[in-house]
Amino acid sequence: MSDAPTVAAPLAATALYEQVADRLRLRILARELEPGAWIDELKLCGELGISRTPLREALKVLASEGLVTMKLRRGAYVTEMSERDVREAYQLLSLLESDAAAQVAARASDAELEELVQLHAALETTLPDRDAFFAANEQFHLRILQIEGNRWRQQIVNDLRRLMKLNRHHSLFREGRLAESLGEHQELMLALRTRNAEASAQLMRRHFENGLAATAEAR
């Protein structure tokens, strides 16, 4: 009998259900599948050329992320953010990101702060394009978290920001909010550049408070 080790078959780069989850996540975030919409499993299986097993595994993944809600005997639905959901998400983001801003003001290198300056300059060029502003704004906020370096904070904020994209009444939809948000960013950037940790945290909190108020007005 040969003592040669058994060679396992090579693993696929990603499991099929993960590929399906990626595809559905993009469709949900692009609002091809609207918040509150019922997910027609048979139709999706036909479109994607798959059986129901990988689709249901994909839906479990998206449910764990909060993007999909499973209802007993009714199937899967794209999650719809309630007013309470939005308020609580803003509160958590405010706590997490204000602390991160304070840490960055106190400990970031000069090169890292200069990178934030450049990202903010790019943000300023996006007005009045709301979609471009939204993308540049998110990049700026997430870079602050990356510089701060707490991976658990980054994971929670990424999950919350993904859910916030399901909000039908995003703060940036309100007339005039883009310019207001940019002004708040400019104040925050000044506090970061002058390494004022207390002001950075306070300004980040105010930024989220104003965003929540704008969301309520946009409803």
**Per-residue pLDDT tens over the stretch 111-165:** 999 999 999 999 999 988 988 999 999 999 999 999 999 999 999 999 999 988 8
Least confident of 59-68, 79-88, 166-175: 166-175
pLDDT band at 14 (very low <50, low <70, confident <90, very high): low
Q: Are residues 65 and 25 in the same domain?
A: yes
CB–CB of 181/132 below 8 Å?
Answer: no
Q: Is the pTM of this model over 0.85?
A: no
pLDDT band at 216 (very low <50, low <70, confident <90, very high): confident
Q: Are residues 123 and 37 in the same domain?
A: no
Mean pLDDT of 198-216: 95
pLDDT at 11: 44
Q: Are residues 47 and 91 in the same domain?
A: no
Containing domain of residue 65, as a range?
16-78
Q: Are residues 87 and 74 in the same domain?
A: no
The answer to whether residue 6 is domain-embedded is: no
Q: Are residues 97 and 25 in the same domain?
A: no
Q: Are residues 213 and 133 in the same domain?
A: yes
Domain-terminating residue out of 40, 62, 78: 78
CATH number at 124 reads 1.20.120.530
Q: What is the mean pLDDT of the chain?
A: 90
Q: How far, in Å, CA of 68 to CA of 75, rounded?
A: 10
The total of structural domains in the chain comes to 2
The answer to whether residue 2 is domain-embedded is: no
Q: Are residues 31 and 95 in the same domain?
A: no
